[in-house]
Amino acid sequence: MIYLDYAATTPLDPQVRAAMLPWLETDAGFGNPASDHALGRRARKAVEAARAQVAALLGASAEEIIWTSGATESNNLAIKGALEFRGRANAHVISSRIEHKSVLDTLRYLETQGLRVTYLTPAASGVIEPEQVRAALRPDTALVSLMWVNNETGAINPVLELASELRARGVLVHIDAVQAAGKIAVDLAQLPADLLSVSAHKLYGPKGIGALFVRKRPRARLSPQIHGGGHEQGMRSGTLATHQIVGFGAACALAAAQLGEEGDRIRALRERLQRQLQSALPEVLLNAPAAADARAPGILNLSFTGVEGESLRAMLPELMVSSGSACSSATREPSYVLRALGRSDELAGASLRLSLGRYTTAGQVDAAATQIIAAVQFLRELSPQGSGAGTAEPLLKDNVYEYPAPAWQRFAHLKHDGRLPEDAEVLTAEADSAAARSLLRLQLRVHGRQVRETRFQAYGCPIAIAVGEYLAERLEADGLDALGAISAAVLRDALEISEDKAHCALMGEDVLRALLQKTGGKT
């Protein structure tokens, strides 16, 4: 397997793991950092050392770092806490349509409480331009919340330019820096942001620990969102997890030590991957600024025209890649970020986010490019818009997305894909599923009542393709009699098609009806 999903999470660095282990031992590492005895003091010293390490990576002071459970909590605390402290429930906030869900969902909740929000639409490159923010400012604007680096496209927003101007206007600035910290230089001595969110597991630290930078001078004030105990300067109560915090600190220290060198290496690998894909495949669209330095080093987001996204991902079982943010993947909707950039639902669905990291090698990049190229070429030829000449079928071993076995067997081992040359014996029919943007073409070479040869082409998900293979297989075996014998219900039963994929079976029934009409309705 090749892991290319570093933007979703990163593996724990071995040095980070080694730093954490002593704090999981029962003899000396389990003390509560809030306790005043020797074990507590020892744990507290480790927590404060880690706080200094996180602060050093960000160019902040240690007292400005507040521990949280991760970026989602940091973003909630920053936005809700700042507005609540200021008593500005009905204030105006500026954000964008491409923020992380933990920002967007927080703002949408606050809108139900009276908050007014302007959601900026990015340029086609995925960048929020300073002019857009300036134009959206109002006298009652209390907060601007923007991400530094977009988690899907890698586009870098001009937060440094914006923050100074917003501070002069008395507007609080919150930056989601989860994809920036440890990837590009972050210096809060130069960036006058009031609040900044980071997370450990995006930079080779443990999951379940994050931090919120809260500026001391001038002081950004927050109302706590978790009460009880008054920990973290009263802003975030709860017993601190020493082992996770130590791991976060170690991860930040490692990131700071190799920031420039690691970034250059990863950027070179990303450019290598992009060159291979775009040189071998036409109509591959970059979802990000064209300039290499206008994107974070490790993220490459591409849309592949002429292929259906679900089938593309199913044909890449050896690649751990994403089609969007891991935090919103449960919806199975096309990426809202790419749609905000102007991509159609179809193109957004046919996109891959390929994110590289510390352990990515040139060999992995080359192997990934080879697999993606083969899958895209195969699916384009399989489509009714393809020539039907066919390409070498990629070898699919693992049913990682757990499709029903009868459907997967046919999708993974196509025998009837392609196109028959048109002549008097060939019947051709097409049917589509408009809602799913799927298309199925089925061809029969008929002699009398016999079907001597069948071919199909399909554009759609693996189930739609499996339907085409099943129909071609049955008609070749049973002849024209099968035209009236196979219904959507039969297809669903034979391929174990679930309710959410029932449209594929209906499309199969429709193409059979179209063929039946061409035979004069006789079966």
Tens of pLDDT, residue by residue over 4-25, are 999 999 999 999 999 999 999 8
Cβ–Cβ < 8 Å for 300, 356: yes
Quote the pLDDT of residue 520: 75
Q: Report the chain's mean pLDDT, rounded to a whole number.
A: 94
Report DSSP state, residue 115.
-
- What are the two backbone dihedrals, phi and then psi, of residue 90, each rounded to the nearest 5 degrees? -105, 20
pLDDT tens per residue across span 180-204: 999 999 999 999 999 999 999 999 9
C-alpha 394/C-alpha 378 separation (Å) is 8
What percent of the chain is predicted at pLDDT more than 70? 97
C-alpha 246/C-alpha 52 separation (Å) is 11
Quote the pLDDT of residue 324: 58
Residue 394 has pLDDT above 90, yes or no: no
Quote the pLDDT of residue 395: 66
Quote the pLDDT of residue 477: 93
Residue 258 has pLDDT above 90, yes or no: yes
Quote the pLDDT of residue 515: 94
C-alpha 128/C-alpha 156 separation (Å) is 9
Quote the pLDDT of residue 330: 41
Contacts of 400 (CB under 8 A, 6+ apart): 314, 317
Cα 217 to chain centroid distance, Å, stands at 36
SS3 label, residue 42: helix
pLDDT tens per residue across span 116-175: 999 999 999 999 999 999 999 999 999 999 999 999 999 999 999 999 999 999 999 999
Q: What is the mean pLDDT of the segment spanning 192-221? A: 97
DSSP per residue, 135-173 = HH--TTEEEEEEESB-TTT-BBP-HHHHHHHHHHTT-EE
pLDDT tens per residue across span 395-409: 677 899 999 999 999
Cβ–Cβ < 8 Å for 30, 42: no
Dump strand ranges (E) for 83-133.
92-96, 116-120
Q: Hey, what's the torsion of the CAs at 117, 122, 128, 129, to 10 degrees?
A: -110
pLDDT tens per residue across span 83-93: 999 887 789 99
With CA atoms as reference, report the closest residue to 410 among 426, 421, 401, 399: 399
SS3 label, residue 513: helix
pTM across the whole model: 0.94
pLDDT tens per residue across span 313-333: 999 999 999 985 454 444 467
Q: Hey, what's the torsion of the CAs at 197, 202, 207, 210, to 10 degrees?
A: -20
461 catalytic per annotation: no
C-alpha 210/C-alpha 54 separation (Å) is 10
C-alpha 55/C-alpha 45 separation (Å) is 15
Quote the pLDDT of residue 26: 77
Distances (CA, A) of 337 to 67, 167, 293, 309, 358: 29, 28, 20, 16, 25
Query: Sorting pLDDT into bands at 50, 70 and 90, what band is 28?
Result: confident
pLDDT tens per residue across span 336-390: 999 999 999 999 999 999 999 999 999 999 999 999 999 999 999 999 998 877 6
DSSP per residue, 388-457 = S---PPP-----TT---HHHHHHHHS-SSBS-PPP-TTEEEEEEEETTTTEEEEEEEEEETTEEEEEEEE
Residue 523 has pLDDT above 60, yes or no: no
pLDDT tens per residue across span 453-494: 999 999 999 999 999 999 999 999 999 988 989 999 999 999
Give the length of the chain: 523
Instruction: Identify the structural domains of the chain with CATH numbers, from first to last.
Output: 9-257 (3.40.640.10), 260-382 (3.90.1150.10), 405-518 (3.90.1010.10)
Quote the pLDDT of residue 367: 98
Q: What is the largest CA-CA distance in the chain?
A: 93
Quote the pLDDT of residue 327: 44
Which of 52-61, 324-333, 409-418, 432-441 has the lowest average pLDDT?
A: 324-333
**Catalytic choice (252, 327, 461, 504):** 327
Kindly tell me the sign of the dihedral angle through the C-alpha atoms of 367, 368, 369, 370.
Answer: positive
SS3 label, residue 284: strand
